[in-house]
């Protein structure tokens, strides 16, 4: 099922994500996916996020598909040139995958293999353009394909970037290149997000607001200091800090649900990043009335 079909039906789309293991034991990834299965429309499978070498997103996506869970195959430009990327997209289609999230990817220096060659032969925009060509039945060089793909192509954007203008310009380039839906970096301030959506609406492409479950005040401070485009307001940090350790999960659910409620009128869905708290996701959606 293509995500774009759900948007066309006017559905408020909910996605979440799981990460393949560092190793070959997929049990925990499948357990996490099962916790999410009944409440989400599709699940992203990250592509060696933060440049940490792991089992690949293509096979992990295929395994979810085989178990009846709709995967969103994340593909980054960090590790593969355009030949390998196009080839993996063909393989993904053959494996029954219908949704692809096209990303530039983190730099290798941030991960556990900093000496690796950073490839970046393509970037998020040119990868989208390449994938759209595969959808049209040709490769990047206009060579005809024996059988084409028909992916719903997604991309990402950071609504809380400062300045936000370059993000909006790049979002426009991604739309021009074929992006049919967007998932965003974590949103913590509904007003900033609404102001972003006011400007992003003109692109006419559905946007899923990114929701991260805050685990502690320390995590919020860490993200503010280290993660680009993430700004947790001081009020939320204070709220977490004032919560006793045993009540943190409940508080985290309450905060995430509040953000979902505050943004759901201005966007077309949410993308929940549980970061290990997959069990809490159903409660967030219940409390948000979704």
Least distance (Å) from other proteins to the CB of residue 238?
Answer: 23
Closer Cβ to other proteins, 206 or 229, answer by number: 229
Least distance (Å) from other proteins to the CB of residue 178?
Answer: 10
Q: What are phi and psi of 16, to 5 degrees?
A: -145, -170
Least distance (Å) from other proteins to the CB of residue 185?
Answer: 6
Closer Cβ to other proteins, 114 or 218, answer by number: 114
Least distance (Å) from other proteins to the CB of residue 222?
Answer: 13
Closer Cβ to other proteins, 12 or 203, answer by number: 203
Q: Applying CB under 8 A, which residues contact other proteins?
A: 104, 106-107, 109-110, 118, 120-126, 129, 140, 156-158, 161-163, 165-167, 169-170, 172-173, 176-177, 185, 226-229
Least distance (Å) from other proteins to the CB of residue 84?
Answer: 14
Closer Cβ to other proteins, 123 or 254, answer by number: 123
């Amino acid at each position: 099922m293509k995500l774009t079909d759900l948007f066309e039906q006017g559905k408020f789309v909910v996605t979440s994500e799981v990460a393949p293991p560092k190793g070959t034991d997929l049990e925990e990834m499948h357990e996490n996916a099962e916790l999410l299965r009944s409440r989400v429309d599709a699940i992203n499978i990250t592509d060696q996020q933060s440049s940490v070498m792991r089992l690949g997103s293509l096979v992990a996506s295929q395994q979810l598909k085989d178990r009846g869970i709709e995967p969103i195959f994340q593909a980054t430009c960090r590790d593969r040139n355009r030949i390998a990327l196009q080839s993996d997209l063909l393989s993904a289609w053959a494996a029954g995958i219908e949704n692809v999230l096209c990303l530039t990817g983190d730099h290798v220096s941030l991960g556990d293999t900093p000496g690796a060659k950073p490839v970046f032969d393509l970037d998020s925009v040119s990868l989208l353009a390449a994938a759209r060509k595969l959808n049209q039945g040709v490769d990047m060089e206009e060579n005809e394909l024996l059988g084409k793909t028909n992916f719903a192509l997604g991309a990402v954007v950071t609504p809380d970037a400062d300045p936000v203008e370059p993000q909006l310009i790049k979002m426009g380039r991604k739309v021009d290149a074929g992006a049919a839906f967007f998932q965003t970096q974590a949103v913590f301030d509904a007003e900033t997000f609404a102001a972003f959506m006011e400007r992003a609406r003109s692109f006419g492409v559905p946007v899923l607001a990114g929701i991260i479950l805050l685990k502690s005040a320390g995590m919020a401070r860490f993200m503010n200091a280290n993660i680009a485009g993430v700004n947790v307001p001081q009020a939320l940090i204070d709220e977490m800090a004032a919560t006793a350790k045993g009540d943190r999960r409940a508080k985290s659910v309450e905060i995430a649900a509040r953000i979902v409620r505050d943004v759901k009128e201005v966007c077309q869905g949410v993308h929940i990043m549980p970061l290990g708290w997959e069990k809490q996701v159903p409660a967030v959606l219940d409390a948000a009335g979704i």
